Amino acid sequence: MVDLVIYDVIVVGSGPAGLTAAVYCGRALLKTLVVAGVVPGGQLMLTTEVENFPGFEEPILGPDLIQRMRKQAERFRAEFVQDDATEADFKTRPLKVKTANETYEANAVIIATGASAKWLGLDSETRLRGRGVSNCATCDGFFFRGKDTVTVGGGDVAIEDTIFLTKFVNHATIVHRRDQLRASKILQERAFKNSKISFVWDSVVEEILGEQKVEGVRIRNVKTGKQDMLKCDGVFIAIGHQPNTAIFQGQVELDRKGYIVTREGTATNVEGVFAAGDVRDFHYRQAVTAAGDGCRAAMDAEDYLEEKGLRAQ
């Protein structure tokens, strides 16, 4: 065991929300620990060029943006643990966050563990990720101007993403494993009326084609077994996200999809515990909104510590 240290704030997660929270906590002179994870950085680590984060005239690689944020947090003396949080105990005080090897304690915790995109699980999908395979139309749609794309999914996210893509692409095809969409009726109507969108029903993508970049997809009809190929330049996987909240079940309130429920800013139902970014936001899911949320959570945590007289001297 390390010598017992009670931190002002433990930030769990090291994506834009967690790192921004660490910057603000550090600048407020709060003793801050970031449990960054074995694979730190969140979904930006899987992103190539980022063009929509303010302050960068030229595109910046996702991992480079994360590295700059981390260095900024370290400048304000935030400490980092390169390990995964495996358990949380918010029922006793101080609050506890455990990793495989240590237990860390703090008077406030900011949960910024994000959400993970659900993928198809194809080897070709993994190989071509960032080379035409994406899970974020808002982030990457701009790169497919005048090209043809395929969206996999049939819910609100898939339809919203595809409608957004039609601002840029030549044509977008939605591949759905059922014979009708699950999306809300108003979104369905908009998609059906959009001349740039077509549908392939009762079908699944079995392989994404291409060596260095996406060149098409191989699909299979789930009713007939017939296989076919669609040429395309990009594939957007829109089958949902899973919030990374498993270790917080029974510790803070979660909604039916597993996202953390917050009230009065970023506060959870547990005193001293706050949540920021995609772990509570299932709508926007942008690096810049996550960063803004991290700022709010840090300020909420600082206010809480001051109000309760728990700030370390």
Express each pLDDT in 147-175 by its tens digit: 999 999 999 889 989 999 999 999 999 99
**Exactly one of 8, 140, 293, 300 is catalytic; which is it?**
140
Average pLDDT over residues 164-187: 96
Our answer to whether residue 140 is catalytic in this structure is: yes
Which of 8, 25, 139, 161 is catalytic? The answer is 139
Q: For residue range 257-280, list pLDDT tens digits in order.
A: 999 999 989 999 999 999 999 999
Q: Which of 44-58, 81-95, 121-135, 247-261 has the lowest mean pLDDT?
A: 44-58
**pLDDT at res. 2:** 47
Which of 46-55, 63-72, 223-232 comes out lowest in average pLDDT? 46-55
Distances (CA, A) of 29 to 22, 96, 242, 298, 312: 11, 21, 34, 11, 9
| Whether the predicted pLDDT of 3 surpasses 90 | no
Provide, for the chain, the percentages of residues in helix, strand and coil under a 3-state DSSP scheme, each rounded to the nearest 5. 30, 30, 40
Q: Give, rounded to a whole angstrom, the gap between the first and last alpha carbons of the chain.
A: 24
* CATH T-level fold of 119-237: FAD/NAD(P)-binding domain (3.50.50)
Instruction: Indicate the average pLDDT of the chain.
Output: 94
Same-fold call for 6-116+241-308 versus 119-237:
yes
Q: How far apart are CA 151 and CA 122, in angstroms?
A: 15
Question: 6-116+241-308: what fold?
Answer: FAD/NAD(P)-binding domain (3.50.50)
In this prediction, residues 171-184 reach a mean pLDDT of 96
Q: What is the mean pLDDT of residues 106-119?
A: 95
Q: Which tokens hold the place of 16?
A: 């834009």
Known catalytic residue at 123 = no
pLDDT at residue 124 is higher than 80:
yes
Dihedrals φ, ψ of 20, to 5°?
Answer: -65, -40
Give the max Cα distance, the chain: 70
Give the residue-averaged pLDDT of 57-75: 94
Domain ranges of the chain: 6-116+241-308, 119-237
139 a catalytic residue: yes
The residue from 25, 136, 156, 232 that is catalytic is: 136
Q: Which pLDDT score is estimated for 46? A: 67
